[in-house]
Structure 1
Amino acid sequence: MTLPQAIDLQAKLATFEGHWQPSTVSVFNGHDVMVAKVGGEYQWHVHPDSDDFFLVLTGTLWIDLPEDQTVELRPGQLYVVPKGVPHRPRADAEATILLIEPTGAPNSGDVATATPRRVI
């Protein structure tokens, strides 16, 4: 039996340049484990069928929520947006994050506006 190798997240992040392009680095119990570089604002969106998991690796990420609430995340901090809650992640400077979502779930909550699934 061949077991998987350890995954170097920084090496995976070094393979691409663009922001808001989550890339799958592993699969865990039917969920994509993804890394992304982020900067500026992403669109307001909602995931009607699943929670949205964010873990900050570098930089600072803000997640805007309804009723003018904002969660600030620094390296090593995570936040789970409950399913059905509108949110908008943003970063004033480049940050890197790890995301976990069900495989095939659109990252924008809508197939029409989602980034295509990329595996690196």
Structure 2
Amino acid sequence: MQKINLAEKLSMFSSHWDPHVVANYNGNDVMVVKFQGEYPLHKHDDTDDFFLVLEGEVTMDYDNAPSVTFGAGELLIVPKGQVHRPRAEKEVKVLLIEPTGEPNSGDSNRAPSPKPHI
């Protein structure tokens, strides 16, 4: 029952595409992550993907729909099974929510991040 300062947590690491768990909520990991560049196209077969931009701008590419760009204070939910790829030209800071144990890499060939708790 402690408050969590997201800016403080984000200042604890500098890596990209490396989510860090800041809290657990009803079987979900609440994470902060920094993006820059593009992630591989992938999907999550059993869960939606939640993205809330805290700072910067993200473009979400889809395999069968137009890309969507969203910025600070905006969120986007990618439905389960939807092939997608987040990308950002400049560093962006994002809050993610995923079921505990869900690999952030989905079905891509990229190894999942370990998701350390901070």
TM exceeding 0.5: yes
| Counterpart in the other structure of 1:63 | 60
CA distance in 2, matches of 1:41, 1:68: 17
Q: Unmatched 5+ residue regions in structure 1?
A: none
* The one of 80, 85, 106 aligned to 2:103: 106
4+ residue runs over 6 A deviation = none
| Counterpart in the other structure of 1:82 | 79
Amino acid at match of 2:93: T
Deviation at 1:69, TM superposition (A): 1.3
CA distance in 2, matches of 1:108, 1:67: 19
TM-score by length of 1: 0.93
- Aligned positions of 1:1-120 closer than 5 A: 4-67=1-64, 69-110=66-107, 113-120=111-118
Q: Unmatched 5+ residue regions in structure 2?
A: none
Query: Once the two structures are aligned, what percentage of the paired residues are identical?
Result: 50
Corresponding residue pairs, total: 117
TM-score by length of 2: 0.95
Deviation at 1:112, TM superposition (A): 6.5
Deviation at 1:44, TM superposition (A): 0.7
Amino acid at match of 2:117: V
Amino acid at match of 2:99: P
Give RMSD over aligned pairs.
1.3
